[in-house]
Amino acid sequence: MAGVAVPKARQVYLVLRERIASGGLPSGEALPGEQALAAEHSVSRITVRRALAELEREGLIDRRRGAGTFVTQRHAPKPLVADLADVLSNIAAMGRSTSVRLLAFGYQDAPPAIAEALRLTPGERVQRSVRVRIIDGQPFSYLTTHVPERVGVTYSEAELASRPLLSLLERSGVSVDRATQEIGAVLASPDVAAALDVDVGSALIALTRAVYDTDGRGVEHLAALYRPDRYAFRMDLVRTGSDDRRRWAPVAGNDDGGRTQPATTATARGTQSRTGEGT
């Protein structure tokens, strides 16, 4: 995906949306005309119109014939927030507050990297599923999950499409104990871009998580991709130690449960923040 160019209309849209979200373009303020915006961003007026159409679709601007284009009262709320210090305890809550679209489901030989991460025995098969998680009718995460076959056979395809995976694992008798995860960034491939309603090559948050039971056996491998405008990670920190040994340490939850304040407006990014990914 290296070298994928972001369409010019998308670039203009992102710049203007960021100005609106940050308050640089406050509610009620008139945007410059199409010709002025085209000159500012070195694009055509058609490109500007496409960018404005997307902002209007999201309810961030109001284009009034003969009067101009104005920022509306509806600011883009903050994306969903996941507390990195308390991941597992909040996974089920995310699953209950969002919906899912199951794109793929089946059993296969474990890819070498998955077998290693889950500490599978030679020849052990896995259940592979691909899901898109949705809030307020808008997709925000693309989830590829591998589960050992011995665990996967305890629930059906229909159950996975309607219930959080963590609850299904626990129902099967799995006692989830800990997880390791890494976070990075990738560019959206064509299939992922179509599922998340973004342009090919758009930047996405990438999370890889391996979950283990109390015996140290791997029970789930998750490769999750998130739209950064609809999902974010947060970690609360506290200073610990004394003298020259003082350091920052994560706080496992806080007074408000690791959540930000509810967004003031219901949009594709959700009416409130939630913590954890309901895998």
11-48 pLDDT, tens per residue? 898 888 888 877 788 888 899 999 999 999 999 999 99
For 105-148, what is each residue's pLDDT tens digit?
999 999 999 999 999 999 999 999 999 998 878 899 999 999 99
Q: What is the pLDDT of residues 62-94, one digit of tens each?
A: 988 888 899 986 545 555 555 544 554 455 555
The pLDDT assigned to 83 comes to 52
For the chain, give every domain's residue range.
8-71, 80-250
Rounded to the nearest 10°, the torsion over CA 130, 133, 139, 141 is: -70
Residue among 228, 223, 188 nearest 205 (CA): 228
pLDDT in tens, 210-243: 999 999 999 999 999 999 888 877 778 888 887 7
| Whole-prediction pTM | 0.68
User: Going by C-beta distance under 8 Å and a sequence separation of 6 or more, which residues neighbour residue 166?
Assistant: 88, 91, 92, 95, 176, 278, 279
**Any idea which architecture 80-250 has in CATH?**
3-Layer(aba) Sandwich (3.40)
Query: Angle of helix 45-57 relative to helix 8-22, nearest 10 degrees?
Result: 50
Nearest to 90 by CA among 102, 79, 81: 81
| Common-topology check for domains 8-71 and 80-250 | no
User: Domain 8-71: which topology?
Assistant: Arc Repressor Mutant, subunit A (1.10.10)
